[in-house]
Amino acid sequence: MTTSKTDAKKASKIMRDPKSSKDEKSVAASDLSQAKGGKSKGGKK
């Protein structure tokens, strides 16, 4: 399943927010890694 554009934008905002918790950033990073068209370092699963 891929992350929608809207969700990817929200995740990006969380990643840039210095007030976001470590857990929030972890989830946001996961969402961004699954975003359609995003670059990933891993192979396909």
16: how many CB neighbours lie within 10 A of its CB?
10
Q: Which residue, among 43, 33, 42, 27, has the nearest Cα to 3 in the 3D structure?
A: 33
| CA 41 to each of CA 1, 15, 44: distance values in angstroms, whole numbers, following the listed order | 17, 18, 10
**Per-domain boundaries in the chain:** 5-38
pLDDT of 3: 82
Q: Which single residue is written with the structure tokens 């699954």?
A: 34
**Residues 2, 20, 10, 39, Cα dihedral to 10°:** -40
pTM: 0.68
pLDDT tens string, the chain, 45 residues long: the values are: 678 889 999 999 999 999 999 999 999 999 999 887 655 555 555
